[in-house]
Copies of this chain bind each other. A is one copy, B any other.
Amino acid sequence: MNNESKKVSNEVIKRLPRYYRYLGELLKNNILRVSSKELSEKMNVTASQIRQDLNCFGGFGQQGYGYNVESLYKAIGEILGLYNGQKTIIIGAGYLGHALANYKSFENRGFKLIGIFDTSPDKIGKSLNNHEILSMENIKAFVDKNKPDIAILAVPKVAAPEVAQQLVNLGIKGLLNFCYTDILVPDDVSVENVHLSDSLMTLSYKIANKNKHI
């Protein structure tokens, strides 16, 4: 698979998890092969778009056969880095932190929750999904020892820039940011934002302008 030579656009990257999810559902239903046309109907993406997307990674289809579901599923999982067992910590044990810690799909997708942190004395020491909520004061020692790959930021917006900076300084290379602010990080750190208000506003636009978007 030759994915060294070309840059892959954000749009393609955003679609990969959906491919992975759909293929996983097909596998669960014992469907062993699928044409790009079938995949296209199920995913509401054109068949040529699917072929083009998968070609970014070397292509997997066979003319007249379609895609082998299991190998495509595994190949996409590998491209997504899901088999690296990404060690994940959650910063913030409020309602959102609780929702995330209880989110079953995390572990199903190869992410391993290894720690939950908070600053509030009311929360520190309590148990959350079999993890003791730890004090932010101990995060340096924890990260040095356990080397998490990903930190999920579920802290109040006002605390986000400082906490993000602290995590980056400790050497964490991936941040999933739920705080409603964009976070500035060095080039070797990746950030993925989940901005709930942005999603609501996008929905609002779609409702207000039904049939005016493509």
**A→B interface (CB under 8 Å):** 3-4, 7-11, 13-14, 16-18, 20-21, 79-82, 84, 86, 88, 94-96, 98-100, 102-103, 105-106, 108-111, 149-150, 173-176, 180, 182, 188, 190-192, 194-210, 212-214
Contact = CB atoms under 8 A, between A and B. Distances in A.
A196 B13 contact: no
Nearest to A214: B7
A201 to B, nearest CB: 4
A203 to B, nearest CB: 4
Contacts of A99: 94-96, 98-99
B202 A17 contact: yes
Q: How many copies does the complex hold?
A: 2
B214 A8 contact: yes
B105 A196 contact: yes
Given A3-B209, A7-B213, 20 more contacts: A7-B214, A8-B212, A8-B214, A11-B11, A13-B205, A13-B213, A21-B195, A79-B209, A81-B205, A88-B200, A95-B95, A95-B98, A103-B197, A149-B207, A150-B200, A174-B203, A174-B206, A174-B207, A176-B200, A194-B194
A199 B176 contact: yes
A77 to B, nearest CB: 9
B11 A201 contact: no
Contacts of A3: 209, 212
Contacts of A7: 212-214
A102 B157 CA distance: 13
A205 B150 contact: no
B194 A176 contact: no
A10 B149 CA distance: 31
Contacts of A175: 203
A182 B18 CA distance: 9
A95 B84 contact: no
Contacts of A200: 88, 106, 109, 111, 150, 176, 192
Given A99-B96, A198-B17, A80 B190 contact: no
